[in-house]
Amino acid sequence: MARLEIEGLCKGWDFPVIDELSFAVEEGEFFVIIGPSGIGKTTLLRLIAGLETPDRGRVLVGGRDLTRLPPYRRRVAMTFESYALYPHKTVYENIASPLRARRESQAVIEQRVTEIARLLRIDQLLNRRPGEVSGGQKQRTALGRTLVADPEVFLLDEPISHLDAKIRHELRTQFHTLEELRRVATVYVTHDYAEALSLGDRIGVMGNGGRLVQTGAPHDLFERPANLFVAEHLGQPTINVIPTRLTNEDQALVLQAEGGALRFRVPEPQRARLEARNTAEVTLGLRPQHIRPADELANGVTIDARVDIFEALGSTGIMLAEAGGVKLTALTDPERHFAHGEAVALSVDDRAFHYFDPASGRNLME
């Protein structure tokens, strides 16, 4: 098997969809690209698969330049968000189609289709047509058609985003355990941060202009986002964003939100870094899991707030509250209940503050 390399890939001139994009995916690596809809993720996969031609740049697999080769001459298999199954063919025939296109023998086709169908737990459905199976089973069929081709690169285009939560969880589990996916370079694109954090050996966050804003291990990107864009696209509920001004008070550096009622002292480990930046304004990022009712989070900074909305969602509670004129999202124990307008003391973990430049959005601690 082989390493996938993308070198200076460009698509579109006046309004670039992909712009000077370069990255590599190692053999056996599961690389997840996350970003909002319409930002160029599917176009990137189509360029790698050969379904579109780049204006500039190269696609290499195992050191071999595939950029100008047609799709059928690349050992690259792609699973589409829309399934793209043949409605008049059975599940068996859909899975077998890449092998038939390669003129494999019937014995090889039978062996591979049966093996893949058993792995995906659809071996009892092989005689049915796509219209006779569920959405999750359709997606397993589409995945089976990708796996059976025995490619050098797998491309997965938001394959489970439109399925219900239970089936998404089941398929994420299969992505973890399918050895076929872990033997080759795999590129998986999604706009769902939970999929990205769950599946990725590495994550690339795609931003406007068709470039990767930051790449790295899931934990590193979540804990140390390079900029506000990355922070806002990894985490649910999304990170709280508070414009603040820096002031010096009583030999302390203080973050003060508009109106002055919400204030936080900058912890000493970060103070010197912020002072060295010589900036008067800072965008403060607070993840909801670092804001909780005061009796649930010890050693935090306590602030007074008033509840706007509270939702108990089974595994957690989500509170939207107002503190000093600032709207904050906090997490709570799901067994608790808070009424609209109720006064509540919230504890904020100041060790988990993120500091961003208001103009560029870059992380001031990086």
pLDDT tens, 251-292? 889 999 988 889 999 998 899 888 888 888 999 999 999 999
What percent of the chain has pLDDT above 90? Answer: 59
Q: For residue 106, give the H/E element and its range.
A: helix 106-119
| Spatial CB neighbours of 214, under 8 Å, sequence gap ≥ 6 | 204, 205, 221, 225, 226, 227, 230
| Spatial CB neighbours of 245, under 8 Å, sequence gap ≥ 6 | 255, 256, 280, 281, 282
- State the helix-helix crossing angle for 165-177 and 135-148, rounded to 10 degrees: 20
Q: What is the pTM (predicted TM-score) of this model?
A: 0.87
Taking residue 101's Cβ as centre, other Cβ atoms within 10 Å add up to: 10
Taking residue 10's Cβ as centre, other Cβ atoms within 10 Å add up to: 17
- Residue 235 above 70 pLDDT? yes
Domain spanning 4-233, CATH architecture: 3-Layer(aba) Sandwich (3.40)
pLDDT in tens, 10-65: 998 777 889 999 999 999 999 999 988 888 999 999 999 999 999 999 999 999 99
CATH 3.40.50.300 domain range(s) in the chain = 4-233
| Spatial CB neighbours of 363, under 8 Å, sequence gap ≥ 6 | 224, 225, 226, 227, 228, 231, 354, 355, 356
Residue 5's nearest CA partner among 164, 117, 152 is: 152
- Judged by average pLDDT, the poorest of 62-71, 174-183, 186-195, 304-313 is 174-183
| Spatial CB neighbours of 353, under 8 Å, sequence gap ≥ 6 | 264, 266, 267, 270, 284, 285, 286
- Residue 205 above 70 pLDDT? yes
Residue 72, SS3? helix
CATH 2.40.50.140 domain range(s) in the chain = 240-356
Residue, of 357 and 268, whose pLDDT is higher: 357
How far apart CA 352 and CA 251 sit, in angstroms, is 22
Q: Would you say how long the chain is, in residues?
A: 366
pLDDT in tens, 104-131: 899 999 999 998 888 888 899 999 999 9
pLDDT in tens, 302-315: 999 999 999 988 88
Query: Topology of 240-356 in CATH?
Result: OB fold (Dihydrolipoamide Acetyltransferase, E2P) (2.40.50)
* Residue ranges of E strands in 250-358: 252-257, 263-265, 281-286, 291-293, 301-312, 317-323, 326-332, 343-348, 354-356
* pLDDT band, residue 179 (cuts 50/70/90): confident
